[in-house]
Amino acid sequence: MPDKDKPLLEVKELKKYYPLTAGITSRHIGDIKAVDGVSFSVGEGESLGLVGESGCGKSTLGKTILRLEEPTGGKIIYKGTDITTLDKKALRQLRKEIQIIFQDPEASLDPRMTIGQSICEPLVIHNIGDDREREEMLVWLLEKVGLEPNQASLYPHELSGGQKQRVGIARALALNPKLIVADEPVSALDVSIQAQILNLMLDIQNQMGLSYLFIAHDLSVIKYVARRIAVMYLGKIVELAEREALFGNPLHPYTEALLSSVPTLIPGARKRVLLIGEVPSPLNPPPGCRFHPRCPHVMPACRQEEPALIEVSQGHSVACHLHRS
């Protein structure tokens, strides 16, 4: 039985900056701070949701954890081992345990490979099993994601969007991972298909004891799948709480605004908080609290002092001067 309180993954002050250069001497003129000092953990068998507007850095964070992007600073600790600077060989081994499901199932599959070849590719790369064992594994994986064995010979263009994402999930499961980073796994699908894929992912989690880092911009999707939720704004986590606490008692003005934009059938259930202005550039984030140019509660201190992420009640952390003790 997985222990949700035992961290499988710990991310500490993780940073991913992209340097900007100018002129023929490639003079360094600044950094795009896509991820800027993010810390959280994911327990065994747990789903942690990561939510925020597009461009807030959440997908970069997911890729940096997998070392598909190299971190600029901070630490990534998996099963108690620092994996931030693992060499290529050790990283290859690690990729068996940490897999990713991409947003666009179309782009993540090779159009020249059959579904069966795509699903078995990770087994071939890692030299796992012989032909017969891979065949058995393929049938098991297809069944697990609700596809028929005879669909193994089809090509991606012969499948619907939902079926392609099922193939993406089967491919991610092939190496029996412990953690899956799911980067907007349903946002490219029809709404009617989204619930099927989310239910499939939850069923598989229950059966295999997987952990998910579930990245999405859609709060209703995150609410459905995640036990704890981190809200990200301009490269930083601004609130982190259990699902019930976040939805029942949001503390950060940005979280309040996000929640108030979710349609509800209950009249007057939540007053709409309108966000003014655009998300500022991560190249030149505002001083102090990054949310201050858009915050309806801005105070003088917010323009000067960056609020730290502080635990204000059991398991509920927020980075806002309104809630400092």
Q: How far is the CB of 322 from ligand SF4 (least distance, A)?
A: 5
Residue 166 or 292: the one with the smaller Cβ distance to ligand SF4 is 292
Q: Which DSSP helix (H) or strand (E) runs through 221? A: helix 219-225
Q: How far is the CB of 28 from ligand SF4 (least distance, A)?
A: 29
DSSP 8-state symbol, 217:
S
Size of the site for ligand SF4 (CB under 6 A): 14
Residue 200 or 298: the one with the smaller Cβ distance to ligand SF4 is 298
Q: How far is the CB of 280 from ligand SF4 (least distance, A)?
A: 12
Residue 128 or 312: the one with the smaller Cβ distance to ligand SF4 is 312
Stretch 272-311 residues interacting with ligand SF4 (CB under 6 A): 289, 291-292, 295, 297-299, 302, 307
Q: How far is the CB of 149 from ligand SF4 (least distance, A)?
A: 53
- How many other CB atoms are found less than 10 A from the CB of residue 269? 9
Comparing CA positions, the residue from 316, 255, 271 lying closest to residue 53 is 255
Distance CA 247, CA 212 (A): 20
Residue 21 or 281: the one with the smaller Cβ distance to ligand SF4 is 281
164 lines the binding site for ligand SF4 (CB under 6 A): no
Residue 33 or 252: the one with the smaller Cβ distance to ligand SF4 is 252
Q: How far is the CB of 203 from ligand SF4 (least distance, A)?
A: 38
Q: How far is the CB of 56 from ligand SF4 (least distance, A)?
A: 15
Distance CA 171, CA 101 (A): 9
**Order of strands across the sheet that contains 47-51:** 98-101, 179-183, 211-216, 47-51, 228-233, 236-242, 316-318, 310-313
Unique residue bearing structure tokens 């550039």: 281
320 lines the binding site for ligand SF4 (CB under 6 A): yes
Q: Which stretch binds ligand SF4 (CB under 6 A): 100-108, 128-136, 178-186, 316-324?
A: 316-324
Q: How far is the CB of 291 from ligand SF4 (least distance, A)?
A: 5
Stretch 118-157 residues interacting with ligand SF4 (CB under 6 A): none
Structure tokens, 207:
């059966």
> In sequence order, what are the residues at sequence separation of 6 or more whose Cβ sits closer than 8 angstroms to the Cβ of residue 176?
96, 208
Residue 8 or 289: the one with the smaller Cβ distance to ligand SF4 is 289
Residue 33 or 292: the one with the smaller Cβ distance to ligand SF4 is 292
Residue 12 or 323: the one with the smaller Cβ distance to ligand SF4 is 323
Contact between 229 and 240 under an 8 Å Cβ cutoff? The reply is: yes
253 lines the binding site for ligand SF4 (CB under 6 A): yes
SS3 content of the chain, % helix, strand, coil (to 5): 35, 25, 40
Structure tokens, 10:
């710990």
Structure tokens, 137:
């594994």
Q: How far is the CB of 321 from ligand SF4 (least distance, A)?
A: 4
236 lines the binding site for ligand SF4 (CB under 6 A): no
Q: How far is the CB of 67 from ligand SF4 (least distance, A)?
A: 32
234 lines the binding site for ligand SF4 (CB under 6 A): no
> In sequence order, what are the residues at sequence separation of 6 or more whose Cβ sits closer than 8 angstroms to the Cβ of residue 257?
273, 274, 275
Comparing CA positions, the residue from 123, 203, 193, 133 lying closest to residue 164 is 193
Residue 64 or 255: the one with the smaller Cβ distance to ligand SF4 is 255
Distance CA 218, CA 51 (A): 7
Region of residue 285 (phi > 0: left; psi between -120 and 50: alpha; otherwise: beta): beta
Q: Give the residues lining the site for ligand SF4 (CB under 6 A).
A: 252-253, 289, 291-292, 295, 297-299, 302, 307, 320-322
